[in-house]
Chains A and B, each alone.
Chain A
Amino acid sequence: MTFSALVNAYAADLYRYGFWLCRNQAQAEDLVQETFMRAWKGLDGLKDSKAAKAWLFTILRREHARHYSRPSLDLVSMEDMDFESQHFAAPGSDGVAEMEFAQTLDALPLEYREPLLLQALGGYSCEEIAGIMQIKSGAVMTRLFRARQKLRASLENEVGERKIK
């Protein structure tokens, strides 16, 4: 796979991943540029073009950690989660305030936000995310669950407020 083909195929996804990691456009652009520079230098080592995407995401993730990492937070075990309290109404059916939703995503600790980004933007499975993040697959599920739970609560609050008004 040529360098320009890599750029054309993955620059947009990497930018979005970088943006939602650091929440800053300029930093996200720097991250993507740095990622591709490192990729260019190591392109000879990429034997399998199918691995290119995960390779690039991993480089960006490391670059982000190198420049902007923050201390981690404690996690709740998957076993302790209360499934009974979940509401199953489809969210956003009558329109949702994107800003509030974005703020909720923005407020998620990086530990929760990151697997969600890898799942949604990278299209990775729990096992693949576990490989990229160097954590156990069960921990990925826990983090994904918590991230989605918070986003769902944000959506349902918004829908509820609209109904009251």
Chain B
Amino acid sequence: MNCIDIRRILAATPASREPDVLRHLQQCQSCARYAESEKALSTHIDKLLNIAVPDRLTFRIMLQQRLAEEKRFRHRRGYWQALAASVVLTVGLVAGMLVVNHPYSLGEVALAHVRDEPMALQVEDNIQLSQLNNLLVPYNLKLQQAIGRVAFAMPCRIRQYTGAHLVMKGEYGKVTVLIMPGEYVMARKMLQERELQGLLIPTDGGSIAIIGQAHEPLTAIEARISQALIHTV
């Protein structure tokens, strides 16, 4: 390869590691200078292209995916329910379809949900009250006032219903709040599993799980949520 061949390659691909190119650059000072100038241009181009990415881009992508997932689930569930209902109607067992037995308790499911979604604990957004209330509209719920710094908020399916998955800043770390409409519990319950501790709180339309690290004062967050959360219908 002569100098023109080498420069032709470097002009298009300055980071070329082709053995012929590297060998030539060791022997030809002029081409080595040319290679340096092309690398400098690349650095400048990289700097220019490296624009800031909107803060909430990742959040919006994940939210869109969750909503699509939920829509897909509802569609499938609607199809299977319609099919099942027609079968059940024929045999007169409609009531039986409404009884759902779960192998795990709601508390176990809530703890597992926190463990299975570590991404939620890494997001560092600052979700505004209006955005939270937009999220809660489908569940006929509303927060009358701010409940503290919310770093993540997204609809999530827990067992057969969709609810809201929030992550708040606690005193010692992140605290997950799962608002679970349609998931009823009889009484307030403490949750404990390895390094996680939580509260399962009955509400009018379902329940709320508040889960954080050991020693996190969850009752303070519980009080703020109880005070702010209302039903809109």
Contact = CB atoms under 8 A, between A and B. Distances in A.
Contact of A125 (B13, B44, B58): B13
A120 interface: yes
A68 interface: no
Contact of B54 (A25, A93, A102, A105): A25
Contacts of B12: 126, 140-142, 144-145, 148
A117 B57 CA distance: 20
A131 interface: no
Contact of B11 (A15, A40, A98, A149): A149
Contacts of A117: 49
B87 to A, nearest CB: 29
Given A126-B12, A141-B12, A91 B37 contact: yes
Contacts, number: 108
Q: Tell me whether chain A's interface is mostly helix, strand or loop, or mixed.
A: helix
B184 interface: no
B65 A37 contact: yes
Interface string B37-59: 11011111110111101100110
A40 B65 contact: yes
Contacts of B42: 120
Interface in A59-113: 78, 81, 83, 86, 88-93, 96, 98, 101-102, 105
A151 to B, nearest CB: 6
B8 interface: yes
A145 B11 contact: yes
B54 A16 contact: no
B33 A120 contact: no
A105 B44 CA distance: 12
Contact of A121 (B7, B49, B57, B64): B49
A101 B43 CA distance: 13
B95 interface: no
A33 B49 contact: no
A86 B7 contact: yes
A36 interface: yes
B4 interface: yes
Nearest to B72: A41
Contact of A119 (B9, B13, B41): B13
9 contacts: A7-B58, A29-B57, A40-B68, A86-B11, A88-B33, A102-B48, A116-B45, A148-B41, A152-B41
Closest 6 CB pairs of A and B: A144-B12, A141-B12, A90-B40, A4-B119, A12-B53, A88-B37
